[in-house]
Structure 1
């Protein structure tokens, strides 16, 4: 008689799960079947698929997960979400979280150290693939090309070999429609501004956009963006848009068209504690009032005005630094397994006074 063992596994297989990650729990067993019952901290859940997608996780997702198929219950799986940010940053050079069929975009990786030991991956469904990483050591950044192929959604991330250091995870989603409601790729954070764009493939002239939250209209205008200026959890919901447009750049008498976008989930979360920069007469001070006690050192960063995609880590690790070079400055606190959020950006520009010498010529 065969004995089947049921287990809950995590994908992507992260060494640490950070707040804002999208992760999937898989109830898997040879010979297993659907429907699947899920339990969270002993309470039965309504979800019945063998895959359980958890989007923009927070410490509220911490706990024990179990699944059951054909009367067989899995061993418990404990999920722990760190209320910190990971060591490296992965972000799109342009664009948001939604792409059309066949589209792709570059994701840029920024790390504090050298890039030679970093690798990048993508999770599509339950399968993980390694991606080519184009490294520019001089600019201290690297790029991967992100595409979805046949997948409806995919999660991209990078990690350093032989150590448990990784970037944030970026999830991209596919739409088959001409009109897209495009949220940012990073999670929406409490108290911050969130822009939702209504984009039409091919760049036609947008005449009107109607935005909806949970199928209820919330804004109608000629603007292509709906902005939430101070996001709270009351803004959570499924957003979509209806666009009226015409391809006037192809034909002056181009026909007016209308179409709806897919609905996209917006989830506002409390992010990790944020560092704060304050300025004095000759330097900058970094602090983090809400950081835990194990956040003991400071990381400072400098970015040039003419290249905002290149970030240089400064050698200083104290709370106070003296600045001389023009550019953009920010800081964060090192908390061991992760970091605080980056501080506000401080812009430092040197103004040079022009001296004029006036010569008076006396005629005799």
Structure 2
């Protein structure tokens, strides 16, 4: 009897197992997404899962069968081509309900970047992240997905914060995804994916997906040293030609660049003085390629102009500026056209409600101000030089009066100048016999005097000839003078006559009103 009861219990258990298996086989599969993203932007990473209960499934997009058969589908870089209605079919033929996905063809309104650290870190390490939103971060929060569940990261914000830096907990899983949203979850940041490795060599690349038409740089790094003597890069386990340096650059990315990459490095450490170098291969890293999102275009004609043909009509523009290697700084101008002032690099993008275009290519602007200032300074110097030269030339050829004109009424009103008898050797007491003396005096006489004999004699009023002679000789070349009488010379010996100069052939006189045509210098030794 006991045996019979045991047999009946076993039968009941078997029936229950069969019913459970039948129910499970007849259960309708479901499609889910993790992490849950609202909305989905170009470049996002997410997983689609089909809980069919079987080992393999069949995927459909808009009723078109796909080649993938795993129950988990990883989309590493979302693009508009991934938009559609997804379904999965179990081994029993059960088909899930449709799961709609719409990938936006632009980038989110906030920016999440790695402030410190690398996209690949040692297991147990972490990174420092920076979140920026140009319209403020009040009410924003961040999330982390570690392959199983999604957790929230609470941020410490001020009311006027537009940027915040934070460090998440240590990273222990192979792949961790970060992103941030506002209260409505309609405004979002881009994602940052950080991977971990226990190896001494890692393959580093830009933490965002590669974009078609742009460049991609891969770096092979060895922890704790930069003494890498040789490097090889691999794609899908095939060695890439010409990849012997520690950096490999794909100048123009195409969809064919997508694949699994790794590097093999030969290196040593400074403290290692003997023994062969190390040779280590990195972990494989997935390189995903996305189609280029909406992009702004900057042109330079009359000023700088920004345009985005594919962007919404209600878009406005933001301008950015940086000098040298500084980060981009937001400018106040929100118009499509702006006039740059300072030298530096300018870029722009279109912005609307919950998104924006990607940044335009930077335009390097060189301000003409230094050139204009230099030209202005040169012109000022030239003008000043011209003014100085003009003043000098004006003084050199001035025609102002040297002596004041006095009316002639009668000869008795003027004093006669006293004649001073002078000796023949008075002008050369040191070397009376010096050769060429007579020739020099003749030349000076010809240079400093004019021979005139047709004017009536007039007295030189009230001036001693020694007082009059020196200024006349020194400034004669600088202008025009009027004399009240004759100033007579006998060689270089001045003679003043009340009525007339001596009637001698070697006497030269300068009449009243005569122009002084030659530059005058006082002869050496004269008074």
TM-score by length of 1: 0.85
Tell me the alpha carbon deviations over residues 173-209 of structure 1, each in whole angstroms, 9 at most, x when there is no partner. Answer: 2222111111211111111111011111122410000
Q: Does 1:158 align with 2:159?
A: no
Q: Secondary structure at 1:60's aligned position in 2? A: helix
How far off is 1:230 after superposition?
A: 1.1
How far off is 1:257 after superposition?
A: 0.4
List gaps (5 residues or longer) in structure 2: 1-18, 390-527
Distance 2:325 2:141 in 1: 24
Q: Does 1:263 align with 2:284?
A: yes
The equivalences for 1:333-344 within 5 A come to 333-334=350-351, 336-344=353-361
Instruction: Give 1:232's aligned residue.
Output: 254
Distance 2:196 2:169 in 1: 9
Instruction: Give 1:113's aligned residue.
Output: 135
How far off is 1:336 after superposition?
A: 4.7
Q: How many residues align?
A: 356
Distance 2:150 2:306 in 1: 39
CA 1:254–1:158: 2 relative to 1, 3 Å:
farther
CA 1:139–1:307: 2 relative to 1, 3 Å:
farther
Instruction: Give 1:194's aligned residue.
Output: 216
Structure with higher Rg: it is 2
Q: Does 1:11 align with 2:34?
A: yes
- Which protein has greater RCO, CA pairs closer than 8 Å, 6+ apart? 1
- 1:20–1:55 CA contact under 8 A, matched in 2: yes
Q: Secondary structure at 1:202's aligned position in 2? A: coil
Which is helix-richer, 1 or 2? 2
Tell me the alpha carbon deviations over residues 339-359 of structure 1, each in whole angstroms, 9 at most, x when there is no partner. Answer: 222111234454534547879
Distance 2:228 2:240 in 1: 18
Instruction: Give 1:305's aligned residue.
Output: 323
TM-score by length of 2: 0.61
How far off is 1:313 after superposition?
A: 5.0
How far off is 1:264 after superposition?
A: 1.5
CA 1:300–1:129: 2 relative to 1, 3 Å:
same
Tell me the alpha carbon deviations over residues 103-125 of structure 1, each in whole angstroms, 9 at most, x when there is no partner. Answer: 22122212121122211111111
Distance 1:305 1:137 in 2: 29
Q: Does 1:322 align with 2:339?
A: yes
How far off is 1:227 after superposition?
A: 0.2
Question: Which is further off, 133-142 or 268-277?
Answer: 133-142
CA 1:78–1:313: 2 relative to 1, 3 Å:
farther
- 1:326–1:348 CA contact under 8 A, matched in 2: yes
1:285 to 282, 285, 305: 305
Question: Which is further off, 302-311 or 19-28?
Answer: 302-311
- 2:138–2:161 CA contact under 8 A, matched in 1: no
- 2:322–2:346 CA contact under 8 A, matched in 1: no
Distance 1:136 1:312 in 2: 20
Q: Does 1:60 align with 2:77?
A: no
Question: Which is further off, 336-345 or 74-83?
Answer: 336-345
Instruction: Give 1:83's aligned residue.
Output: 105
Question: Which is further off, 148-157 or 46-55?
Answer: 46-55
2:115 to 93, 103, 117: 93
Q: Secondary structure at 1:73's aligned position in 2? A: coil
Distance 1:100 1:67 in 2: 37
- 2:321–2:331 CA contact under 8 A, matched in 1: no
Q: Secondary structure at 2:81's aligned position in 1? A: helix
Q: Secondary structure at 2:252's aligned position in 1? A: coil
- 1:184–1:195 CA contact under 8 A, matched in 2: yes
Please, what is the CA RMSD of the aligned residues?
A: 3.1
Distance 1:232 1:136 in 2: 43
List gaps (5 residues or longer) in structure 1: none
How far off is 1:258 after superposition?
A: 0.2
- 1:148–1:154 CA contact under 8 A, matched in 2: no
How far off is 1:144 after superposition?
A: 2.8
